[in-house]
Amino acid sequence: MNRIGPALLIPLGVLLFTVAIIVGIGELLLLMARLMPELGGIHEPLSVLVALLLAAAILAIASLLASRAASSRQDHQS
């Protein structure tokens, strides 16, 4: 039971960091849309979509790097 607490800290930390990235990028894009509408007509729905796409790309790259690191460690253990 003592190992469950520390084991949950990493996934929860990653989840909170991911939420912070999504919210941060979304807020920056919304701020840009309000302050500088002449920058290509960024609208709120587009800003949210771009933030989600950026977060998905970051998560996909992180997953790819993690799987490569795991397979590399497994190859070294063999």
pLDDT in tens, 18-72: 899 888 887 887 787 777 666 555 566 776 777 788 888 988 998 888 888 777 7
Structural domain for 27, as ranges = 4-77
What is the C-alpha radius of gyration for the chain, rounded to an integer number of angstroms? 18
Give the pLDDT mean for 4-29. Answer: 83
Confidence of residue 16 (pLDDT cuts 50, 70, 90): very high
Confidence of residue 5 (pLDDT cuts 50, 70, 90): confident
Q: Quote the number of domains for the chain.
A: 1
Distance (Å) of CA 77 to CA 28, 43, 63, 64, 70? 44, 51, 21, 20, 11
- Predicted pLDDT of residue 34: 76
